[in-house]
Structure 1
Amino acid sequence: MTGRFVAIGDSFTEGVGDWNAAFPNGVRGWADRVAKQLGRQDPAWEYANLAIRSKRLHQVRDEQVDRALALQPTLVSLYAGGNDILELRTDMVALMREYESIVARIAASGARPLLFTGFDIPLSPVFEPMKRRNWLFNDHVRRIARAYDAVLVDYWCFDEYSDPGLWDADRLHMSPAGHRNLAAHVLRVLGVEHSLTPRLPEREGYAGLVAGLRRETAWLGEWVVPMFGRRLRRVTLGDDLQPRWPEPVRPADGLKRLARARQTTAG
């Protein structure tokens, strides 16, 4: 198995939560980890990652799909729609029609689509209404995966992600351990041998009611309120960012080394 892996989508695929200054945009993520293992299996594997945080599905369609297919990939991962689900007025029927159109284009190009369901993130009760939308999203993704012979990573079924240690401080993005664990799942589904051993963090003890309430209040103030504030102002954390790996690279050459070389050239 060899080819060219191109990743498209939002923060999930960009790698937010897996913070590492040695990599472009200051993050690493599951896709880089998967690409590294593919390169170990066969040094001829190539990899590009066009995903940028905060992108809605229509932005992924308009800004990333043509660019991805122009790279003539053999495998294209797509995870997008989560930011749309957080919008109360999103028409889910129209959203999934748009999602399917993207998958259809990927499949028609000859590339194999790699799709993901969404996990029911263990958030505050404030976000409970979003679960029904996520379930609807997942049902459609499973149907679309069958229809287009896509590889499906059924993320919703991975019970270990109920562990807070697999999530970053904002509770919306995976921690480094979460990204590493997901990379292992992706490689398993692809049938690729790898050296990734899941490192699940130790569970935290019960902090007590008062401490728990303080933590919830701090989380709402530090992460949730600013997020919705940005939405009202129509600005995102990805507005000034470029894709991490816009052109195909060979992970076997070392992604850190390639990142350093790119910085040197840019400087």
Structure 2
Amino acid sequence: MAHQLAVQNHRAFDGLFVAKEGKRVVGSIWVQPWAGTDMLIWPPASVGCRRQRTINELILKAEQWGTSRNPHRLLTYVNARQFSLLPSLYRRGFRSVSNLVTMEFSTNLATALESPSSFRFEPLSVWNFNRVVHLRDRVVGNHSSQGPAASEKRCIETLHHFTSCMDIALMQGFIAIRDGRDLGCLVMSQSSTRSKLYVSFLAIDPEVKSQGVGRAMLSHAIELAQKSGVRQIVTFCNTGDAMAVRTHLHMGFKYIDRSQVCVKFYR
């Protein structure tokens, strides 16, 4: 029997597509808003003899649903075990824009790392989230040339992303401050088992690159993880940023995987 795609309409799973052969689930894919103006496609999973056909249909359906939200771009992260998906993505107009390495830190094997005393770390909240957006804009070169109204809109969109697409109870984050100035921010999300913390967002003011801000934030994240009993911290580094990779390795992070970021632009 030819399989057909069905959408899970439950509010908690908006954007989830399931491929079925009769009553048997043979694949799935999930699309969700990402950073306000983008859509993130979680790579499809599929089983059975028609796996490639299922994957192609899942990607097509996810793309159609994602573009209906008028995004700037669609993104997906493909790890080493999923590289067979790349031809299907390329045929749909996606292209690889960066290579990442996934790195892991085991808190139970490490001694406590002390954050430099020159930094102050302010916990992330809805009241200071506009400062996170400002740091992000400085990192990507998206300054306030579009005016304060556009900046406020991006702040609202990004805040909506973090509050609607992530469980705030499982999310942690902070802003690194020195001499009254915001120098960087780090956002972590906790796994459902609460045994891992994923660094989902890390930004450093370009003017203070190579001044130990990233190391200080990672040290503080490790300290928080150790105090809360989290066993592992997972981060993602661009292979082109040799300094960031070296910093992670010197702090005790280990390679566990590699991946590619694939993007399809619409604006």
Would you call these one fold, judging by a TM-score over 0.5?
A: no
More helix by share: 1
More strand by share: 2
- Which one has the largest radius of gyration? 2
Range of TM-score over shorter length: under 0.3
Normalised by the length of structure 2, the TM-score is: 0.27
